[in-house]
Structure 1
Amino acid sequence: MTPELEDLVAQIRACRICRDVPFAGPPLPHEPRPVVMASSEAKIMIAGQAPGTKVHASGVPFTDRSGDRLREWLGVTSDEFYDTRNFAIAPMGFCFPGQDARGGDLPPRRECAVTWRARLMQLMPQVGLVLVIGQYAQAWHMPDERKANLTDTVANWRAVFMRNVTPRVLPLPHPSWRNTAWLKRNPWFTEELLPVLRTEIAMRLQRRE
């Protein structure tokens, strides 16, 4: 990791903006615990939403059922997934944002992207592929290609993925168990997108699919 990136990651992990000096809503209702994985070698970035309760407790990204499904989608082992030479993991909100009255997770804190995201991306120019999970990551990483809803955005994945830009971008739904019904309604995701995703991941990790 370069000294500049190491310093930025340390600043992110020590961040308390949304708790102490929030500018995008009421203060975070609990102690911040920013979760981020970054390196100067990572080939792929996973841009998700924000940590959930289990990840907030563990401090390690995707240590939950969503992570199990995501690793299955990617066709990678846990060792490959948590190897920072392979993946950087940078959600739109680095801290668990809390829950709404129904027990669902609140949206990512907006302070995170405004304060940190552009600098983090600038210091990882070696990333060749960004997997944008959910509407908040898609709004930041592919604003011109985002459609009226997540289904249409992900369904347009070929056009987004084949753009002549670096890094390449691939939109995905959230791997949450809550999206199981979505996956059943949209079989093209499993039949068409996932084989391309797995081949791309295998190529970038320099192993055979």
Structure 2
Amino acid sequence: MSTGERALELLLADIAACRICRDCPEGGPDKALPHEPRPVCVASASAPILIAGQAPGARVHRSGQPFTDPSGDRLRDWLGVDAPAFYDPAKFAIVPMGFCFPGNDAKGGDLPPRRECAPAWRSQVMDLMPQLKLILVIGQYAQAWHLGPLRQKTLTETVRNWREIIDVGDPNCPVVPLPHPSWRNSGWIRKNPWFEAELLPELKQRVATLVSPKDGIVSS
């Protein structure tokens, strides 16, 4: 095991034991996570692709594995990969902005990622994954952290600007902005046909160059 791999292993153990949002929540005790934390993070010292999502949902909280829900089915379809490839840490790192299920809002939707996670852990995780060749930023929270000033006023404008974001970013590790694959966003996809017609073919091609066809690429 390399020094970097060992350091990442130790960091993941610290993340798994993290209870900041329960024991030292931002905003005081009244803002504590109302259930036992279960951090979900698949960092990798070898994966060429990073999926930077939002936060685990209720199903992922129960399973302990990222994207074990309909959103995951749609995301894998967007990427053109099967589940074994998606869950292979040698191919994909999956590191959300918040590691624990944040709970639900009054309308039954997921709350935003906990604010404690990214300041505590994200830079440390990213520093230990220098091998990345492609970063997919899903949703406004991941886009805010990873894109900085390249992020536009709305998610639609940011995703629509994907070509420029790729062009002005690191050519060795381009960043691709995506909407959340939740089925709640089906209306957004219908209203923005360029997403499936233009962005997804480019995305699948880039993924295919990093994940061999014999390693889980699904034919379109």
Q: Given the two structures, how large is their TM-score scaled by the length of structure 1?
A: 0.97
Mean CA deviation greater in 158-167 or 33-42: 158-167
- Aligned amino acid, residue 8 of structure 2: L
Deviations 1:155-208 (A, max 9, x none): 000001122414210000000000000000000000000000000000011338
In the TM superposition, structure 1's runs of 4+ consecutive aligned residues that sit over 4 Å from their partners are none
Q: Which whole-Å CA distance do the structure 2 matches of 1:54 and 1:206 have between them?
A: 30
Q: Which whole-Å CA distance do the structure 2 matches of 1:36 and 1:184 have between them?
A: 31
Q: Which whole-Å CA distance do the structure 1 matches of 2:27 and 2:127 have between them?
A: 24
SS class of match (2:67) = coil
Q: Does 1:17 align with 2:9?
A: no
1:5 maps to which of 8, 21, 24 = 8
Counterparts in 2 of 1:54 and 1:113: CA distance versus 1, 3 Å: same
SS class of match (1:170) = strand
Runs of 5+ in structure 2 lacking a partner? none
Q: Which whole-Å CA distance do the structure 2 matches of 1:206 and 1:128 have between them?
A: 14
- Aligned amino acid, residue 9 of structure 1: L
Deviations 1:34-61 (A, max 9, x none): 0011111110000000000000000000
SS class of match (1:101) = coil
**2:149 matched to which residue of 1?**
144
**1:200 matched to which residue of 2?**
206
Return the offset for 1:22: 1.1
**1:191 matched to which residue of 2?**
197
2:181 maps to which of 170, 175, 182 = 175
Runs of 5+ in structure 1 lacking a partner? none
Q: Does 1:121 align with 2:126?
A: yes
Counterparts in 2 of 1:3 and 1:24: CA distance versus 1, 3 Å: farther
Q: Given the two structures, how large is their TM-score scaled by the length of structure 2?
A: 0.92
Q: Which whole-Å CA distance do the structure 2 matches of 1:129 and 1:75 have between them?
A: 15
SS class of match (2:54) = coil
Q: Structure 1 vs Structure 2: percent identity of aligned residues?
A: 61
Question: Conserved in 2, the CA contact under 8 Å of 1:24 and 1:109?
Answer: no
Aligned length: 209
Q: Which whole-Å CA distance do the structure 2 matches of 1:80 and 1:102 have between them?
A: 34
Q: Superposition pairs for residues 55-70 of structure 1, below 5 Å?
A: 55-70=60-75
**1:155 matched to which residue of 2?**
160
The alignment's C-alpha RMSD in Å is 1.2
Counterparts in 2 of 1:164 and 1:147: CA distance versus 1, 3 Å: closer
- Aligned amino acid, residue 14 of structure 1: A
Question: Conserved in 1, the CA contact under 8 Å of 2:40 and 2:64?
Answer: yes
